Amino acid sequence: MELFNNLMLASQLVLDPYVLLVILGSAMFGMLVGCIPGLTATMATALLVPITFFMPPVAAVAAIVTATAMAIFSGDIPGALLRMPGTPASAAYADEAYAMTRQGKAGTALGVGLVFSAIGGLIGTIILMSFAPALAEFALNFSSFEYFWLILLGLSGAVFIGSASALKAGVTLILGLLVAAVGMENPAAHPRFTFGNSELLGGVSLIPMMVGMFAVSEILRYMVNTNPDLRVETGRIGGIFSGVSDALRRYRMGLARGSLLGTAVGMQPGAGADMASWLSYAVSRKFSKEREKYGTGHVEGIAESSAANNSALAGAWVPALVFGIPGDSITAIAIGVLYLKGLNPGPTLFLYNPENIYAIFMVFVLANIIMLPLGWMVIKLAGNILRVPRNILMPVILLFCVVGAFAINNTVFGVTLMLFFGVLGFLLEENGFPVAPAILGVVLGRMLEENFVTSMIKADGNFLVFFERPISAVLGVVTLSIMLWPLAARLFRRGDRISKKAA
Amino acid sequence: MRMNDAISGILLLILSASILIVVADYPTIPGQDIGPAAFPRLLGILLLIASLVLIFQGVRDRARGWIRLGEWTRSPRHLINVALVVGGLVFYILFSEELGFIPCGVLILSALFLSLRVRPVLVLPIAVLATLGIHTVFYQFLRVPLPWGLLQDMAW
């Protein structure tokens, strides 16, 4: 009964013409951005955020959910046609899809990708809907100790699971946490690192920073790219939905496996759609009956990992909504938006505003449904979209960023922040420092400090208190083992080598 | 531009040292060990350790050179592109209030278009159209008070 009530209230929120228009608009936006190589799904989100700033909460979240779902699918299109994945989440199977294009089967590759993406997204959403409220109820009993460990778990996941160099990821994470420490909003309300600038008293404004890190740095990367633009070869794409029913019949196990694995990976802190798609491609190959066909233009792996990367999006929202802990940079941006809209994520959101939560679930469902017709259109138009001259597009996006960064506080200081973080993000990435941990650090910094300080005061110098409550003990042990694992592994390997030498 | 890890490490070392110096002056809360300095100090110490490890790794790998400049740093055209993006933003920060959004926007876009080899005939029309488009979305629809500057008298 309560569920029914919530769904009724939520549908009033979602089926509002304004919200529906926002969903449609951001869906087309996401499709286009994902389809243009060099513009990632994360960038789509960062560009949308300044606009969502002016929307009511449900519309704002709807815009982000829809745009990212579309961008993750449409990243497949340049992957298939140019062998240049539109977003990193399509990289795992870009070679395979391109091989199919060269055999004249681009339509099948993209059609199967589209349908499996939509179904994967829906399965992920169902898991999100059934899992999140139960988890929230459980999380109501959490104290500052549990939260401290949970946040730390999320952050160490980002550092140790999803990155090539744990040291460098750790450095960017600390930089992000330091950025969050700027300003007066800390437990002691003492202004920190403001350099006497009154605009920094409230902290580093999140939106200009994200626009800088994810959009301006991409623009800079385009500017220094010395490889000439790829020539688009679009022959006939072929029938889009012709191979789909056959694929659905043959790969229904793969569809289920990809969606489940994707959702699970998405829930992991620090691992998102990219990793879901790589893992799932590998798993699909391992269990396939036609393993030898992989890499030669075989649709099976594409099907399974397309389902996985879209379901990962929904999975990432589980920790985001329940604990306010993002699983990847897209949900980190989304959480920033939730805070700005006064919808502070956490278990109490489920208690006091369940209609908002159910509205977000409904948006997920809607987004994955309209993905089918819109995706079909974009595939049909792909030849034209890929030919969009990027030398015109990139400067226009830059000007758009300027206005977006300005619009948050209506001061030019936002543009200064954007420039600073844009150049910083560019330099960091050039030197192999991943940017995603930094954004997680910025979003989670205040929460981590608050729970850290509260816990420390409660503990009064006795660190064992951090492990006294059963759940916090489990979380603590898991977190510490993730952090110490690489060290232990290295020692173990060294010991092994020494003993071999001795023998 | 890829710097040897030792150089990144030294920069981070300087950063973490200055953080530790700055937070040393933060007030303490009477009767409590945890003040506003505690959390940033912890971060500063962690960053210090990380930067030392980076320096160590960088020195170990010094055979690969201290700074490897990307291909673009040898191409004047790409250097100009980067300079125009950064310079354009600095220009906007300094002069948008006086000149106004529309003149600044047209100027920045035209400069970038020219440098990115858009056909010269198209440069000005596209720059004006795009600027006006963005202006309409933000000024008319979202009510962002973009500065008029020089065009104050003909504001619409």
Over the stretch A340-358, which tens digit does the pLDDT of each residue have? Answer: 888 888 888 888 888 888 9
Residues of chain A with pLDDT > 70, as a percent, come to 95
Q: Do the Cβ atoms of B32 and A192 come within 8 Å?
A: no
Rounded-to-integer distance, Cα A446 and Cα A185, Å: 8
Q: Min CA distance, A488 vs chain B (Å)?
A: 17
Q: Over 90: is that where the pLDDT of B154 sits?
A: no
Query: What confidence tens digit (pLDDT) does each residue in A355-396 have?
Result: 888 999 999 999 999 999 999 999 888 878 888 888 899 999
Cα dist from A363 to A103, B30, B117, whole Å: 37, 50, 42
A1 touches chain B (CB under 8 A): no
- In terms of Cβ atoms closer than 10 Å to its own Cβ (0-12, 13-18, 19+), residue B41 is middle
* Closest-CA residue of chain B to A187: B36
- Confidence label for B104 from pLDDT (cuts 50, 70 and 90): very high
> Higher model confidence: residue A163 or residue A256?
A256
pLDDT the model gives residue A372? 93
Query: Which DSSP symbol is given to B118?
Result: -
Which range is least confidently modeled, A336-340, A455-459, A482-486, A493-497?
A: A493-497
> At a CB cut-off of 8 Å and minimum separation 6, what does A99 contact?
A295, A296, A297
Q: What is the pLDDT of residue A426?
A: 94
If one counts the domains in chain B, the total is 2
| Residues B76 and B97 both lie in one domain | yes
Asked if the model's pLDDT at residue A2 lies above 80, the reply is no
Whether A171 has its CB under 8 Å from any CB of chain B: the answer is yes
pLDDT at B112: 95
B30 and B59 inside one domain: yes
- The whole domain housing A180 covers 2-502
Together in a domain, B34 and B93: no
Same domain, B84 and B13: no
**pLDDT of B121 above 80:** yes
| Mean pLDDT value across chain B | 89
Q: What is the mean pLDDT of residues B81-96?
A: 95
State the Cα–Cα distance between residues A3 and B30, nearest whole angstrom: 50
Closest residue of B to A451, CA-based? B39
Are residues B64 and B77 located together in one domain of the fold?
no
DSSP-assigned letter for residue A192: B
The pair of three-digit structure tokens given for residue B49, joined into one six-digit string = 């350790």
Strand spans (E) along chain B: 2-3, 67-68
Interface of B with A in 72-91 (CB under 8 A): 72, 75, 78, 81-82, 85-86, 88-90
pLDDT confidence band for A239 (50 / 70 / 90): confident
Determine the average pLDDT of the residues in A37-66. 88
**A interface test, pick of B12, B39, B71, B110 with most A CB neighbours within 10 Å:** B39
What's the rounded Cα separation, in Å, for the pair B46 and A170?
Answer: 9
- Are residues B55 and B79 located together in one domain of the fold? no
Contacts of B36 in chain A (CB under 8 A): 186-190, 192
Is A155 part of the contact surface with chain B (CB cutoff 8 Å)? Answer: no
Whether B118 and A410 lie within 8 Å, measured CB to CB:
no
Determine the average pLDDT of the residues in A414-440.
92
Into how many domains does chain A fold?
A: 1
- A431: chain B residues, CB-CB within 8 Å: 1-3, 8
Question: Does the CB of B4 have a partner CB in chain A at under 8 Å?
Answer: no
Handedness of CA A244, A247, A248, A249 (dihedral sign): positive
- Which is nearest to A322 in space by CA: A42, A128, A56? A128
User: Residues B56-79: what's their mean pLDDT?
Assistant: 82
Q: Whose structure tokens read 């920045």?
A: B108
Mean pLDDT, residues A250-270 taken together: 88
Domain co-membership, B42 together with B82: no
Residues B91 and B30 in one domain: no
**In this structure, what token pair is assigned to residue A256?**
């289920």
Same domain (yes/no): B38, B88: no
pTM: predicted TM-score of the whole model, two decimal places: 0.88
A96 within 8 A of A302, measured Cβ to Cβ: yes
Substitution target from B85, B128, B139 for chain A, most A beta carbons within 10 A: B85
B24 shares its domain with B11: yes
**Burial category of A379 from C-beta neighbours within 10 Å (exposed 0-12, middle 13-18, buried 19 and up):** buried
pLDDT(B47) > 60 = yes
Closest to A285 measured CA to CA, from A268, A310, A260, A303: A303
Does residue A240 register a pLDDT over 80?
A: no
Domain end residue (candidates: B24, B49, B68): B68
Domain that holds residue B43: 2-68
pLDDT at position A433:
92
Chain A positions touching B105 (Cβ under 8 A) are 399, 402
State which residue of chain A sits closest to B48, comparing Cα positions.
A171
Residue A192 pairs in a beta bridge with: A183
Query: Are residue B6 and residue B40 in the same domain, yes or no?
Result: yes
- A427: chain B residues, CB-CB within 8 Å: 1
Instruction: Output the CA–CA distances (angstroms, integers) from residue B101 to A271, A349, B93, B127, B156, in the order listed.
Output: 40, 40, 11, 13, 13
Confidence of residue A191 (pLDDT cuts 50, 70, 90): confident
Q: What is the pLDDT of residue A236?
A: 63
Distance of alpha carbon A1 from its chain centroid, rounded? 33
Interface contact B33, partner A, CB < 8 A: yes
Q: Are A269 and A157 in contact (CB under 8 A)?
A: yes
Q: How confident is the model at residue A198 (pLDDT cuts 50, 70, 90)?
A: confident
Chain B residues touching A175 at Cβ < 8 A: 47
Answer whether residue A90 shows pLDDT above 80. Answer: yes
Crossing angle of helices A106-139 and A299-323, rounded to 10° = 20
B44 and B92 belong to one structural domain: no
Q: Do B22 and A457 touch (CB under 8 A)?
A: no
Q: Quick one: pLDDT band at residue B14, thresholds 50, 70, 90?
A: very high
What is the nearest CA distance from B154 to chain A, expressed in angstroms? 21
What is the band of A199 on the pLDDT scale with cuts at 50, 70, 90? confident
- Angle of helix A354-386 relative to helix A106-139, nearest 10 degrees, comes to 160
Q: What is the pLDDT of residues A109-159, one digit of tens each?
A: 899 999 999 999 999 999 999 889 888 988 888 888 999 998 988 888 878
* pLDDT at residue A290 in the model: 85
Of A442, A389, A400, the closest CA to residue A181 belongs to A442
